Amino acid sequence: MSQQTEQHGARGIPTRAVAVQVLEGADAGQRASGDARLTVGTASDNDLVLQDPTVSRYHLELRRGPHGIEARDLGSTNGTLAGALRLTEAAVPAGTVLTLGKTALRVDDGEAQELDLHDGTHLAGLRGRSPAMRHLMAKVKRASQSDVAVLLVGESGTGKERIAEALHQIGPRRRGPFVTVDCGALAPTLVASELFGHEAGAFTGAKARHPGAFERADGGTLFLDEIGELPESLQATLLGALERRRFRRLGGREEIAVDVRVVSATHRDVRADVNTGRFRLDLFYRLAVVTLEVPPLRARPDDIELLAEHFLQELGWQRPQDVLTPPVLEALRRHHWPGNVRELRNFVEATVAMGEPPELHGAVEGAGADPFAAVLERPWKDARAAIVGELERRYFGRLIERTEGNVSEAARVAEMDRGHLTDLLRRHGLK
């Protein structure tokens, strides 16, 4: 009697592709289909490349969402229209006709397919049991085996640096160095020195030769965090170093050859900056040979318990169930997590330090309740700290969400010093 072979390894999750057909315009008749995501524009790396000059380089993104097909305009010049309505981001039914400049296209369901999943809940320091995270881990595993440049895109606090480390740790460069440069944390005048190094006397204060990040990462991986904040004046220099694999230190004459893999990350959609000319298209091509999107924590609530247990164990807590009671877990799943995994870790650390979970939603739920009632019986110092702490958590959480993780923009909106805001965001696990 024959016996069916047991399936081993990752199982896929069923989904449908996204498909488009051009109905009107210079490219009428063209069709394209993506897996769970499809982009439209004039740049050559889109899934549907159009010749219409009224269409932006990166104009429209379509993806399979929980409620059907989600359409998002990528900061295009002429916008995306559904009838007379100009949309920024919206769920659209199959059969919807969208207008991009002088081009009209129809959005449809594509073929049924399966998305690959990693066959476990761990990968080189990454953790997740949700389909979204296991799909990402499967992509990380594949991408790690090549030397191509990878761009990680995701909100602040989602763990992009940890993913960059995983790409390094399970790849062929694992024995080489892993060097990080945070392009958003450095003053524009210091970025070039940090990337390429400098000779003694190259500028005021340069008393000795300083090897830059490219030099220190030779044979390994260079992680460029917040690459979207890279000054325009340095983009051509970085492009040249990537293309030639050679560079000069500031103030130097000798060219230095390096062998590095570049992984970069950003919380912003750099394609919109390409459309406006703030970010070079040719540099984007070099950095985004492979693009990995990191889902926010609110999109994968199934991972919250697993991550919280891990953080508790790291802090020496042997019985996570004593902290992660059913009411606490329910509150964690309902929370929006503007600070993502970093905010969850901060929550766990505060719980261990104080012996009880901190408030996630404020002292009261009702709109008409007295917001101070819950602390009026406490000592003044404790009451004041609770109110101020909760105000800071909620205010800065909402602020960083509104500004999509852009700390410079958040500082302008809040009319605060950027350095002081950064300290407060770190205090509350939001950066």
Provide the residue-wise pLDDT of the chain in tens; the chain has 431 residues.
334 333 344 456 677 788 999 999 999 999 998 777 899 999 999 999 999 999 999 999 998 877 778 899 998 999 999 988 898 888 888 899 999 999 999 999 888 777 788 888 889 989 999 988 999 999 999 999 999 999 999 988 899 999 999 999 999 999 999 999 988 878 777 888 888 887 776 666 667 778 888 999 999 999 999 999 888 888 999 999 999 998 888 777 888 899 999 999 998 889 988 998 899 999 999 999 999 999 999 889 999 999 998 988 888 777 777 778 888 888 888 888 888 898 898 888 888 777 667 766 433 333 334 555 555 666 666 666 666 767 777 788 778 877 877 888 888 888 787 777 877 777 766 76
CB 339 within 8 A of CB 159: no
SS3 percent helix, strand, coil of the chain, rounded to 5, is 35, 25, 40
Beta bridge partners of 70: 63, 91
Q: Are strands 122-123 and 126-127 parallel, antiparallel or unpaired?
A: antiparallel
- Which residues make Cβ contacts (< 8 Å) with residue 254, sequence separation at least 6? 248
Global pTM exceeds 0.85 = no
